[in-house]
C-alpha cells in the first residue's frame, strides 16, 4: 500500500547541481526532485552552480583573475599553455565572450569568423587538428564538415579554444579542475575522509572562491530553509562539500542534505562524523520517500527514528543510519520533471569529437527523461544489480510518459529527449512509439538499450518513425565466452543483427565496450577488436567506447569473486566511501597496454580510418592472430555464404 502524500511543508527547498557534471544540459536529478516536491505542495526551486561556475571563470573578468594568478607564478612553473595564454591575453579576453555565446547558440553569425581560424587564439589543443590531412593541400577539416559545415566547424574550434583555457586554469590556478569532474580523486572509493577534509580546510583557490560566491548568491536569491545537493559522480563531491561549507558559514540554520548517485553507491558504510559538519543529513537511493520523511521530521511531525534511508549525527556525535521501512514512491507517481529556474539558454553545446553519434553526449540541450525505474534485465555480473537504482524495476504507462513529454516540450520549448534508463525496455519503447505516433508528436529521442533480439527490423523502423535518432548499448567484451560469463544474455552474432536493424532504420548506434574483465586473455582482446572492426565495417555501429573493467563491491563479481576466477584484495577499514575494489586476476595480462591499442583503434574506426588493416597493427607488441573468421559479421547478417 502506498503511503499517503505528505502535507505541504512551509519550508522552501533548494536543489543544487554542484560542479562538475556537464556543460550542454542540466543533470536531471534536481529537475526530477523539484517536479516531485512541487507535486506534493512543497515550495521547491533549483539552480545549477556547475554551469554558473564555468560561465564566471570563462568570461573577461574571469580571465583577468586567471591572468593575475598566472603572472604570479615563477617563470619556471609557467607551462607552455600558461605562457601562450599570457602572450596572447588581449586576444583571449576579447574573444572569450563571443566564443561562449556562440556555443550557447546566442550569436550564430560569429561562426564565420571562428571558422576562418583567424579569430580565436590557438593553443595546444589545436594540435589535434594535425591528424586531419587533405591530400590536395586544402582545409584539413573539409572532409569532416564540407563546404556547408561552417556552424559545426566553428563549434569544434570553439570547443578546442575552451579546452585550451581549461588547461591554463588547471596549470595556473587549480590542478584539480576539469569540465566534467572536479577533484575526483578526493572522493572516488576513498575509505577515509582525511584527503577531502584536508582539501576543504586549505585556503580556497580561485575556483573555490568563485564557487563560494555563487553559493552565497543562491542563498540570498532563493532564501531556502533546506538545500539539497545532488551528487551523481565522485567528480562533483568536492564541489558539493565546498558549497555546503559556504552555506554553513553564512547560514548555519539552513538544513543541508547530500544525496545522489555517489551516495547511493559509495556511502553505504558511512561512519565518519566530520561529514556532518557540512551536511545535516545524507540520504540513499531514490530521494522522493526519504525527502518526504525528512520534511515531516523537520516540521516536527515524525521523530528521527522514522527517517527513511537517512544518515544523521546524533547528540553524542555518532553517525546513525535511520531506515523506517516505507514503500518507495511508484515511478508512475514521481511526477513530471521541471527545468523551471534553470538557465536553459546558457548551456554550452560543445563538439569535442566529430563522430555524429559520439557528439550527442555533449552537443545539444536534451531534455532528460526516464522510461522506467531500474533495469528489467538486472543480471549483468559487472553491474551494481544489488542496488536499488538497478535492482528495483518499475515502469509507467505509455500514455503517462507521453503526457510528461508533452508537458516538458511545453515548458522548455525544445523537443529533444535523452532517455537515461539503465536499459529502456523494448516493450515499453514500442508502446511509447505507438502513443507518440497516435498523438502526432514530432520529437527526437535517443537512449540506452540492450542489444536483444526483441529489437526486430520492424520495431526499429517503428522507433525511427516515432523520432528515435540513436541508441547506445553494451556489447562489452565482444566474446561469446565472456558474454556468457557476464550473463549479458546476448551473443556477438545477435548483436550484429540487432545493430544492423537499427542502422538500416537510420538510427545511429553506439557500443559500450569493455576490456580487462576477469579471465580475459590477450587472445580474447584481439578477437574482440576484430569483431568491433567488422561491426564498423559492415555499418552496424557508428561509435563506441572501451571502458576498463572496474570491480565494484555491489556487483556479482565483487560479491562472489570466486565464481569469476579472481581474488579481491583486502580493503582498508571504511568510514567514508567504498565502491571500486582491486582484484587479482591469475591471467596476469597487461590490460593497460592493451587498452591503449583498443582506444587508438576505436578512435580511428569512428572516423572511418584503418578498417581494412589487420587489428594486430594497433598493438605495441606482438599479439596473436585473431581467431575470428574474416567474414563473421557478414555471415551473421546473411550477407556471406556459411563457408566464407
Residue with cell 514530432: 442
Q: What is the pLDDT of residue 3?
A: 47
Q: What is the pLDDT of residue 2?
A: 46
**DSSP 8-state code for residue 164:** H
**Spatial CB neighbours of 549, under 8 Å, sequence gap ≥ 6:** 382, 514, 515, 516, 517, 518, 520, 591
| Helical pair 150-172 and 80-87, crossing angle rounded to 10 deg | 110
Distance of alpha carbon 269 from alpha carbon 260, whole angstroms: 15
The b/e string for 592-608 (b: 16+ C-beta within 10 A; e otherwise) is eebbebbbebbbbbbee
Provide CATH 3.40.50.280 ranges for the chain.
Answer: 12-50+184-333
Of 586, 525, 551, whose CA–CA distance to 382 is shortest?
Answer: 551
- Are the C-beta atoms of residues 70 and 38 closer than 8 Å to each other? no
Provide CATH 3.80.30 ranges for the chain.
Answer: 353-636
Q: What is the pLDDT of residue 1?
A: 40
Q: What is the pLDDT of residue 128?
A: 81
**Spatial CB neighbours of 307, under 8 Å, sequence gap ≥ 6:** 281, 290, 293, 294, 297, 322, 323, 324
| Helical pair 80-87 and 89-103, crossing angle rounded to 10 deg | 100
Q: What is the pLDDT of residue 144?
A: 61
Cis peptide before 20 (omega within 30 of 0): yes
Q: Could you tell me the CA-to-CA distances from 322 to 227, 230, 311, 326 in Å, in that order?
A: 20, 20, 6, 12
User: Using one digit for the tens of pLDDT, what is the confidence trace for 95-151?
Assistant: 999 999 999 999 999 999 999 999 999 999 998 887 655 555 556 666 566 655 899
| 12-50+184-333 classified as CATH 3.40.50.280 | yes
DSSP for 520-569 reads --HHHHHHHHHHHHHHHHTTS-SEEEEEEP--BTTSHHHH-GGGGT-EEP
| Helical pair 29-39 and 288-298, crossing angle rounded to 10 deg | 50
CA-CA-CA-CA dihedral for 171, 361, 516, 486, to nearest 10? 150
- As a CATH number, domain 353-636 is 3.80.30
- Are the C-beta atoms of residues 50 and 236 closer than 8 Å to each other? yes
Q: What is the pLDDT of residue 644?
A: 47
User: Using one digit for the tens of pLDDT, what is the confidence trace for 2-43?
Assistant: 444 545 677 999 999 999 988 999 999 999 999 999 999 999
How confident is the chain (644 residues) per 10-residue block, as mean pLDDT?
A: 54 95 93 97 97 98 98 95 98 98 96 96 90 57 66 94 97 93 86 96 97 98 97 95 98 97 96 98 97 97 97 97 96 96 96 87 94 94 93 96 98 96 96 98 97 96 98 91 92 95 97 94 95 96 94 94 92 92 88 92 92 95 94 90 54
Amino acid at each position: 500500500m502506498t503511503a499517503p502524500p505528505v502535507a505541504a511543508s512551509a519550508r522552501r527547498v533548494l536543489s543544487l547541481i554542484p560542479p562538475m557534471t556537464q556543460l550542454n544540459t542540466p543533470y536531471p536529478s534536481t529537475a526530477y526532485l523539484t517536479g516531485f516536491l512541487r507535486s506534493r505542495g512543497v515550495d521547491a526551486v533549483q539552480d545549477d552552480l556547475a554551469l554558473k561556475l564555468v560561465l564566471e571563470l570563462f568570461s573577461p573578468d574571469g580571465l583577468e583573475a586567471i591572468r593575475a594568478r598566472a603572472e604570479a607564478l615563477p617563470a619556471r612553473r609557467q607551462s607552455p599553455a600558461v605562457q601562450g595564454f599570457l602572450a596572447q591575453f588581449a586576444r583571449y579576453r576579447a574573444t572569450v565572450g563571443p566564443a561562449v555565446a556562440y556555443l550557447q547558440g546566442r550569436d550564430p553569425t560569429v561562426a564565420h569568423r571562428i571558422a576562418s581560424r583567424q579569430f580565436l587564439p590557438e593553443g595546444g589543443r589545436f594540435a589535434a587538428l594535425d591528424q586531419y590531412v587533405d591530400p590536395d593541400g586544402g582545409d584539413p577539416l573539409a572532409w569532416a564538415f564540407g563546404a556547408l559545415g561552417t556552424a559545426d566547424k566553428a563549434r569544434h574550434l570553439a570547443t578546442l579554444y575552451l579546452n585550451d583555457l581549461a588547461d591554463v586554469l588547471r596549470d595556473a590556478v587549480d590542478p584539480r579542475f576539469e569540465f566534467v569532474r572536479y577533484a575526483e580523486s578526493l572522493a572516488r572509493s576513498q575509505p577515509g575522509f582525511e584527503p577531502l577534509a584536508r582539501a576543504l580546510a586549505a585556503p580556497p583557490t580561485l575556483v573555490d572562491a568563485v564557487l563560494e560566491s555563487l553559493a552565497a548568491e543562491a542563498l540570498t536569491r532563493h532564501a531556502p530553509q533546506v538545500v539539497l545537493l545532488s551528487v551523481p559522480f565522485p567528480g562533483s563531491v568536492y564541489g558539493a562539500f565546498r558549497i555546503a561549507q559556504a552555506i554553513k558559514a553564512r547560514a548555519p540554520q539552513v538544513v543541508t542534505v547530500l544525496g545522489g548517485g555517489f551516495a547511493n553507491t559509495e556511502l553505504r558504510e558511512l561512519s565518519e562524523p566530520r561529514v556532518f559538519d557540512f551536511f545535516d543529513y545524507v540520504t540513499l537511493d531514490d530521494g522522493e520517500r526519504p525527502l518526504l520523511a525528512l520534511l515531516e521530521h523537520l516540521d516536527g511531525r515524525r521523530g528521527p527514528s522514522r527517517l527513511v534511508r537517512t544518515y544523521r549525527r546524533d547528540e553524542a556525535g555518532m553517525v546513525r543510519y535511520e531506515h523506517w521501512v516505507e514503500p518507495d514512491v511508484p515511478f508512475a507517481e514521481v511526477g513530471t520533471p521541471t527545468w523551471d529556474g534553470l538557465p536553459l539558454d546558457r548551456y554550452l553545446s560543445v563538439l569535442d569529437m566529430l563522430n555524429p553519434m559520439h557528439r550527442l553526449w555533449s552537443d545539444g540541450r536534451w531534455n532528460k527523461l526516464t522510461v522506467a525505474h531500474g533495469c528489467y534485465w538486472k543480471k549483468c555480473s559487472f553491474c551494481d544489480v544489488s542496488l536499488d537504482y538497478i535492482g528495483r524495476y518499475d515502469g509507467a504507462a505509455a500514455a503517462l510518459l507521453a503526457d510528461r513529454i508533452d508537458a516538458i516540450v511545453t515548458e522548455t520549448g525544445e523537443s529533444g529527449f535523452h532517455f537515461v534508463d539503465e536499459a529502456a525496455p523494448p516493450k515499453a519503447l514500442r508502446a511509447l512509439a505507438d502513443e507518440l505516433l497516435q498523438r502526432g508528436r514530432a520529437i527526437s529521442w535517443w537512449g540506452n538499450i540492450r542489444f536483444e533480439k526483441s529489437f526486430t527490423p520492424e520495431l526499429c523502423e517503428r522507433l525511427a518513425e516515432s523520432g528515435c535518432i540513436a541508441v547506445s548499448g553494451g556489447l562489452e567484451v565482444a566474446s561469446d565466452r565472456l558474454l556468457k560469463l557476464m550473463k549479458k544474455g546476448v551473443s556477438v552474432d545477435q548483436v550484429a543483427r540487432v545493430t544492423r536493424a537499427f542502422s538500416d532504420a537510420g538510427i545511429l548506434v553506439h557500443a559500450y565496450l569493455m576490456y580487462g574483465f576477469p579471465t580475459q586473455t590477450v587472445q580474447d582482446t584481439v578477437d574482440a577488436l576484430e569483431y568491433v572492426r567488422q561491426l564498423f565495417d559492415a555499418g552496424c555501429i557508428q561509435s563506441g567506447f572501451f571502458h576498463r573493467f572496474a570491480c565494484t563491491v555491489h556487483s556479482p563479481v565483487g560479491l562472489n569473486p570466486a565464481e569469476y576466477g579472481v581474488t579481491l584484495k583486502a580493503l582498508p577499514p571504511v568510514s567514508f566511501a567504498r565502491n571500486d575494489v582491486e582484484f587479482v586476476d591469475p591471467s596476469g595480462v597487461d590490460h593497460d597496454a592493451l587498452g591503449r591499442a583498443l582506444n587508438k583503434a576505436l578512435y580511428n574506426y569512428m572516423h572511418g580510418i584503418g578498417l581494412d588493416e589487420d587489428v594486430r597493427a594497433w598493438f605495441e607488441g606482438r599479439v596473436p592472430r585473431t581467431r575470428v573468421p574474416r567474414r563473421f559479421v557478414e555471415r551473421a547478417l546473411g550477407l556471406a555464404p556459411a563457408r566464407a
